[in-house]
Structure 1
Amino acid sequence: MKTREEYLFEEAPVSRAVLSLVVPTVISQLITVIYNMADTFFIGQIGDPNQVAAVSLCMPMFIFLTGMANLFGIGGSSLMARSLGVGNVEKARKTAAFSIWTAAATAFVYGIILALSESVLLPVAGADAQTYEFCRKYLFWTIVVGAVPTVLNQTLAHLVRAEGHSAQASFGVALGGVLNIILDPIFIFPLGMEIAGAAVATMLSNVIATMYFIVFICFKGKGTDISFNPKNYSLARGIPKEVLLVGLPSCLMNLMGVLSNVVINKLMAEYANTALAGIGVAKKIDMMTFAISTGMSQGVLPLIAYNYSAGNYKRMKAAFKVDFVLSFVVAIITSVLLFTCAGPIVQAFINDPQTVEYGRLFQRIICITGPCIAVTMLSITMFQAVGKKLEPGILSLLRKGGLDIPFMFLLNHLAGVKGIVWATPIADLGAMIVALSLIIPFLGRLKTKEETIENLSEK
């Protein structure tokens, strides 16, 4: 008798299977965005643009943790799903153990490095005499202390989702987000910790979310192939290479996102701290579009990977097409909402008139290419799900770093502060065009394989 997860991957109507995997993932991604925005929102209520600017300056270094989680989580979940698709349970377990323990060790080392280099790193990132101490306090709790639980929380969510437990994975991620929203105002205001309180709240929420995943996996026992047992840790059978190369594009996008944010912060800081705070708020808000696109794509990854390895190309393509339409339509609606309501949304974060004016302008520029992000992200996920390395790497580099950074410098010279922000939608549009030029031929090759299999079965 097939398990619920096997039925979901193999036999359930495609639209139902896609929705059951995608909806919880999107919800958890949105809650994650809300909790990321919560720091900016509650700190903004203090009324100090320097503290809001400090959160913006620290964001690239915090995003780096998500890059680590994607490296091991997405790479591991893809290999796990493909291994389960061909019935190789042992390899799935070894993949999980490798992903978990390597992710934890890497996060720990990153936290130590950051603690030792903050006096050099923060000024390079754009911190000045007004923001340095705020940055230091925020980074200590969120990264130096909180790096391991932050990375493990997200990595375990990917691995749990690889087995078809999308709702449980999403609950764990959402749990951390909801807790952070609750704890933020408590630590910031009654306890008087201000920006340090927001950082402590973030760290604690990730610790509790990680504990949830550990309890869930242990409770499943033999019902899961996710293993914490160090004896299952293996560097053999090509597991490290496969996990790292497949997860690298998503990690690379985050790393280049870090570099991109550092560049935009440095360029904005040359104008005013209010401009820096404005772009920080605008980017936090625009994370909603990215979160929806990420949730729509990451949610369907196990379904695509499982059916690809099982040779069921027809079901795999159907899943991709259903998710593509859903992602594109939702991205259009979200972009329209963020564009038309830019002013009130920005003002909800901070009531400083100049910061609000910058934030409103920047938000309207950034959000116009939301549908482009949806197309690019789903294309990247499709290639990752089937174990491709080159194509997702190219798209990731184009979307972040390859196009936007050169355009930031060029348009800053030509159009000033507005030009810096226009680099983002230009990069998203360029990445989408390349994504379509890669994914359309790939789907055509799959159709040829599908027809060949059907012809052979008829004979």
Structure 2
Amino acid sequence: MAKEVNKEVFEVLPVPQAVAKFVVPSLASTLITIIYSLADTLFVGMLNNPSQLAGLTVAFPYYQFLNAFSSLWGVGTNSVMSRALGEKDYDRVSKASSHGFWGSLVFMAVVCVIFQILEKPLLYVAGASAQSYDSASVYMLIVFVIGGIPTVLSIVMSNLLRAEGHAKSASSGLMLGGLLNCILDPIFIFGADMGVAGAAVATLISNCVSLIFLIVVYIRIRETSYITLKPFPGGVSWKLIKDVILVGLPSGCLTVLGATGCIIQTSLYSLYGDAAVAGWGVVNRISFISIYTVHGVAQGVLPLIGYNYGAKNFKRVRSVNKCAFLITEILAWAIMILSLIFSAGIIKIFINDAATIEAGVQIMRKYMLCTPFMAIVLLVSTLCQAVGKWQYSLIMLAIRQLVFNIPITFLLNSLFAMKGVASGQPTTELICFIGALFVYHRCFYRAMNKEELLSKKVS
């Protein structure tokens, strides 16, 4: 059977409709992922034990490392595949899909062993106390060390499918895992009386089910797809692996740097007790609503941008970008306003402990001010990756975290204590927002204008 790509969606369908076709399933998947990320915190919080919630908060940044590795391989492979599809280089599409899948598997096998060896110092650096260490340790063992490979492979697999236009199937697999996690959490946490360990087991099972579902989807479409899971057809191509990693590196670094910043913030909040750490844990999860929303929009438009950039249809690329900015900012402002108005009620949903609620409200009303600015910074980063301009994205994100966020957070902590820690992110994002606008102009206007002129001269 002939292999085919839905060219009408990529090339002909009006931009708002094409964006909706990709972004709606991606946002639906993101919504489930948000619920997924909140579920563990919500159900563990119902134990009304700040130490267990603090343990989950301490371990969670390391779970974010799994998202980083997923982005490294998934976003990188998606971008390489999308641009190759636009260039009609179908052999490269197949090889990229295989290298992305098997490369991520080998990579994660090594990483899981390293994290198991370094578990104790990693958790104490993140702010674990004598009371919260056991909870953090068991969560990290089950979710990261045992469950790291299926977690990463499920997200990489969804990116392979999305690159070829199978947005609904890619999103359905992740949604299935998220819904299953919400069902299993109370069963293991309360029914089996496992506490934090129950949340970890539920997450592990859910990610395995997602991976199985996505592999079944691939098996059903493989006769008409350029995706292949045959290990490294034609041999290992280190150049292709390099291309995948370099394009995916900014997304991976974004999450690693974000997780590192979260570890530092958690460590600083630990100076003010387990209630502050638990309150920060809730705020951190709420902030993920905005992060995952931007991620959902960006992942949705990434194949459209990559394909049309590869086909040198720059007018369509710019139109897709405008739609992405509009959707992202509307959602970001809505999230910020709601979180500021209902901060106390939101914290109370997760844990009914007076000290934790008080600390959480103070943190939320400062921290969530970053949302509209952060949305633009993260979106610009992903748009740069979509067209292979990974250098812009990487430099911008490294400066954001290392030059601004970490030093500013330490400085404000020394000046204003806990409220200063919460103010570090908004201050950083406001500065980086200005830089992101400059990067976008340079990457999408100056660079594409030059390429358009070259294309006209060649033709």
Superposition TM-score tier, normalisation by shorter sequence: over 0.9
Mapping 1:246-261, distance limit 5 Å = 246-261=247-262
Deviation for aligned residue 1:5: 2.2
Note if 1:346 corresponds to 2:330: no
Mapping 1:15-414, distance limit 5 Å = 15-232=16-233, 234-236=235-237, 238-414=239-415
Paired residues of 1:53 and 1:280 also in contact (CA < 8 A): yes
Task: Give 3-state SS (helix, strand or coil) of 2:128's partner.
Answer: coil
Per-residue deviation at 1:90?
1.0
- In the TM superposition, residue 381 of structure 1 has moved relative to its aligned partner by 1.6
Does the CA contact (< 8 Å) of 2:102 and 2:232 recur in 1? no
CA distance in 1, matches of 2:390, 2:306: 14
Q: Would you say the 8 A contact 1:97–1:233 is kept in 2?
A: no
Take 2:422 and 2:235, find their aligned partners in 1: how far apart are those partners? 45
Q: 8 Å contact 1:347–1:356 — kept in the other structure?
A: yes
Specify the SS of the correspondent of 2:193. coil
TM-aligned CA deviation for residue 236 of structure 1: 2.6
* Aligned-partner SS, 2:131: coil
* Deviation of the 1:294 alpha carbon: 1.1
Which is worse superposed, 283-292 or 232-241? Answer: 232-241
Q: How many residues align?
A: 457
Q: What do residues 392-443 of structure 1 show as CA deviations (whole Å, max 9, x unaligned)?
A: 0022223434311111110011111100111111111122111101112333
- Counterpart Cα distance in 1 of 2:261 and 2:454: 45
Aligned 8 A contact 2:250 2:390 in 1:
yes
TM-superposed deviation, 1:233: 6.8
Distance 1:456 1:245 in 2: 29
Q: Cα RMSD between the aligned structures?
A: 1.7
- In structure 2, C-alpha distance between the alignment counterparts of 1:2 and 1:152, rounded to whole Å: 24
Contact 1:314 1:450 in 2 (8 A): no
Greater shift, 342-351 or 20-29, is seen at 20-29
- Report the 3-state secondary structure (helix = DSSP H, G, I; strand = E; otherwise coil) of the residue aligned with 2:272: coil
TM-score in terms of structure 2 length: 0.96
Structure 2 letter corresponding to 1:278: G
2:411 paired with 1:423 = no
Following superposition, the deviation at residue 24 of structure 1 comes to 1.2
- Counterpart of 2:194 in 1: which secondary structure? coil
Work out the CA distance in 2 between the residues paired with 1:233 and 1:392.
Answer: 31
Q: Which deviates more from structure 2 when the two are superposed, residues 114-123 or residues 423-432?
A: 114-123
Q: What secondary structure is seen at the aligned counterpart in 2 of 1:403?
A: helix
Q: Secondary structure at the match of 1:238?
A: helix
Larger mean Cα displacement after TM superposition, 102-111 or 183-192: 102-111
Q: Distance in 2 between matches of 1:398 and 1:234?
A: 37
CA shift, 1:165, in A, is: 1.2
Task: List alignment gaps of at least 5 residues for structure 2.
Answer: none
Stretch moving more, 286-295 or 357-366: 357-366
Once the two structures are TM-superposed, the CA of residue 389 in structure 1 deviates from its matched residue by 2.1
Quote the Cα distance in structure 1 between the aligned partners of 2:449 and 2:49.
Answer: 57
- Report the AA paired with residue 413 of structure 1: S
Return the offset for 1:449: 4.1
Rounded Cα–Cα distance in structure 2 between residues aligned with 1:272 and 1:182:
32
Cα distance change on mapping 1:119 and 1:375 into 2, 3 Å: closer
Partner Cα distance (2:434, 2:344) in 1: 30
Instruction: Give 1:70's aligned amino acid.
Output: S
Mapped contact 1:85–1:309 kept (Cα < 8 A): yes
Report the alpha carbon displacement of residue 132 of structure 1 after superposing the two structures with TM.
1.2
Please say if residues 293 and 373 of structure 1, whose CA atoms lie closer than 8 Å, have aligned partners that are also in contact.
Answer: no
Deviation at 1:448, TM superposition (A): 5.2
Once the two structures are superposed, residues 40-88 of structure 1 have per-residue CA deviations (whole angstroms, 9 ceiling, x without a partner) of: 1000001100000011100111100110000000000000001111111
- 355-364 vs 191-200, which deviates more? 355-364
Q: Counterpart of 1:14?
A: 15
Q: Deviations over 1:221-246 (max 9, x none)?
A: 22222211014274437211111111
Cα drift, residue 271 of structure 1: 1.1
1:242 and 1:224 mapped to 2: Cα distance?
Answer: 22
Corresponding letter in the other structure for 2:159: H
CA distance, structure 1, for counterparts of residue 212 and residue 234 of structure 2: 21
User: Any stretches of 5+ residues in structure 1 without a counterpart?
Assistant: none
C-alpha contact 2:76 2:244 (8 A) present in aligned 1: yes
- Counterpart of 2:362 in structure 1: which amino acid? L
Aligned residues of 2:29 and 2:175 also touching (Cα < 8 A): yes
- The Cα shift of 1:454 comes to 6.0
Q: Is the 8 A contact 1:180 1:202 kept in 2?
A: yes
Give CA-to-partner distance per residue, 1:290-319, whole Å, 9 cap, x none. Answer: 111111112101100100111111111111
Kindly report which structure 2 residues correspond to 1:440-451, keeping only aligned pairs within 5 A, or say none. Answer: 440-445=441-446, 446-447=448-449, 449-450=451-452
Shift in CA distance, 2/311, structure 1 to aligned 2, threshold 3 Å = farther
> Residue 238 of structure 1 aligns to which amino acid in structure 2?
K
Cα distance in 1, alignment partners of residues 228 and 286 from structure 2: 37
C-alpha offsets along residues 155-202 of structure 1, whole Å, 9 cap, x if unaligned? 111111111111111111111111000000000111111110000000
- Distance in 1 (alpha carbons) for counterparts of 2:137 and 2:302: 37
Percent same amino acid among aligned pairs? 36
